[in-house]
Amino acid sequence: EAQVTQNPRYLITVTGKKLTVTCSQNMNHEYMSWYRQDPGLGLRQIYYSMNVEVTDKGDVPEGYKVSRKEKRNFPLILESPSPNQTSLYFCASSKEGTRSGKTQYFGPGTRLLVL
């Protein structure tokens, strides 16, 4: 089954404690991205990657890092989480980039609470 998986699904942490949210896709997609969803703001892109070792900033990259060492994985790293990073995070992948909306798959989301 074609899917994007994220782990963990729920996470409560404290300010400053480094964490990583993993994202993996089994569709051999080149394009992957991370979004955060906040009330009244919709989804905002954090980072995206067009292929292995190629990443670029989205609209809200501050406080986040990503890496793309393998095609299937695109982890999101919060080196020093702060309460304003409390949010719902989505990973997405597609074969041809965001224009091919039909083939963009989103993960189920990771709800993060930073105390």
63: which 2 tokens? 């406080």
Q: Which of 17, 18, 95, 99 binds another protein (CB under 8 A)?
A: 99
Specify burial of residue 91 (Cβ count, 10 A radius: 0-12, 13-18, 19+).
buried
We find the least distance from the C-beta atom of residue 74 to another protein, in angstroms, to be 14
Q: Which stretch binds another protein (CB under 8 A): 13-21, 28-36, 66-74, 76-84?
A: 28-36
54-57 vs 110-114, strand pairing mode: unpaired
We find the least distance from the C-beta atom of residue 79 to another protein, in angstroms, to be 23
10: contact with another protein by CB under 8 A: no
Specify burial of residue 18 (Cβ count, 10 A radius: 0-12, 13-18, 19+).
exposed
Q: Which of 11, 19, 44, 65 binds another protein (CB under 8 A)?
A: 44
61: contact with another protein by CB under 8 A: no
- Rounded CA gap, 93 and 60, in Å? 18
Which stretches of the chain bind another protein, using CB under 8 A? 4, 31, 33, 35, 40-45, 48, 50, 58-59, 90, 92, 96-99, 101-102, 104-109
